[in-house]
């Protein structure tokens, strides 16, 4: 915890859920980010909601106690077709927000499309692209799980926006050449290719 505080404070990223909740703790390192810890809280899907929320609260309290986080970054709520599902998700999502507020920590909410833009360069990026880019940015030895990757992405997106504020267009411009790569997409592909080359050199 002292190491986290010494490096400018850590961000807790949360991918909310009432059955699984991804979490990630990262911190700034120069112009990049440093991975501290991450994982997924898996709850008993057969347990009543109240029991699941109680177990989730305990796990989150332990996370806040274990890591010296200074901010919370969480995926913003979205309109769901099923009102019951939306209500349950909202109850689970409120737990980390309340715990952060109780500790006087700022809470930052990011819609999924904005997170994707800051990580991959496209608000329509696929799950596989997101997971691979998160792995590359944090130099992880293997791909993180989907919920863990989402939490890492939210935290990275927050740090990227805090260091390099970006004004995003309200609509994607139409490219004259549908095969042309945007600078962000080209950068992503270059990183993936470089990562593959490093793996090849190590295996040979």
Tell me which residue range forms the domain holding 26.
2-170
Does a structural domain hold residue 186?
A: no
User: Is 3 assigned a catalytic role?
Assistant: no
pLDDT in tens, 152-173: 999 999 998 854 333 333 333 3
28 lies in some domain: yes
pLDDT digits (tens, 9 = 90+) for 16-50: 999 999 999 999 988 889 999 999 999 999 999 99
**In contact, 125 and 119? CB cutoff 8 Å:** yes
Choosing from 15, 132, 148, 150, the catalytic residue is 15
Residue 182 in domain: no
Active-site pick, 4, 71, 75, 132 = 75
What confidence score (pLDDT) does residue 164 get?
38
When divided into structural domains, the chain yields a total of: 1
- Pairing state between β 32-42 and 69-75: unpaired
Q: What are phi and psi of 154, to 5 degrees?
A: -60, -45
Compute the distance between CA of residue 18 and CA of residue 203 in angstroms, rounded to an integer: 41
**Nearest-angstrom CA–CA distance, 83 and 86:** 5
Q: Would you say the pTM of this structure is higher than 0.85? A: no
- Percent of the chain having pLDDT more than 90? 60
Segment 51-71 mean pLDDT: 97
Evaluate whether residue 158 is within a structural domain.
yes
**Within a domain: 36:** yes
Give the domain CATH number at 27: 3.30.420.10
The pLDDT assigned to 18 comes to 93
Establish whether 15 is a catalytic residue. Answer: yes
Q: For the beta carbon of residue 188, count every other beta carbon within 10 angstroms.
A: 21
Check 4, 71, 132, 147 and give the catalytic one: 147
Widest Cα–Cα separation across the chain? 54
């Amino acid at each position: 915890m002292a190491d986290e505080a010494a490096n400018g404070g850590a961000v807790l990223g949360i991918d909310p859920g009432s059955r699984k909740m991804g979490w990630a703790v990262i911190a700034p390192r120069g112009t990049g980010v440093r991975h501290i810890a991450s994982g997924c809280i898996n709850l008993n899907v057969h347990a009543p909601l109240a029991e699941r929320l109680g177990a989730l609260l305990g796990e989150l309290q332990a996370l806040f106690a274990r890591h010296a986080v200074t901010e919370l970054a969480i995926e913003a709520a979205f309109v769901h077709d099923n009102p019951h599902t939306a209500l349950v998700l909202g109850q689970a999502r409120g737990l980390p927000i309340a715990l952060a507020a109780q500790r006087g920590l700022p809470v930052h909410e990011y819609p999924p499309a904005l997170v994707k833009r800051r990580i991959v360069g496209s608000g329509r990026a696929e799950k596989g692209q997101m997971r691979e880019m998160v792995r590359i940015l944090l130099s992880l030895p293997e791909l993180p799980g989907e919920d863990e990757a989402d939490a890492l992405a939210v935290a990275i997106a927050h740090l990227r926006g805090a260091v390099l504020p970006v004004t995003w267009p309200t609509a994607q411009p139409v490219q004259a050449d549908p095969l042309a790569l945007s600078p962000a997409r080209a950068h992503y592909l270059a990183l993936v290719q470089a990562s593959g080359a490093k793996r090849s050199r190590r295996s040979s």
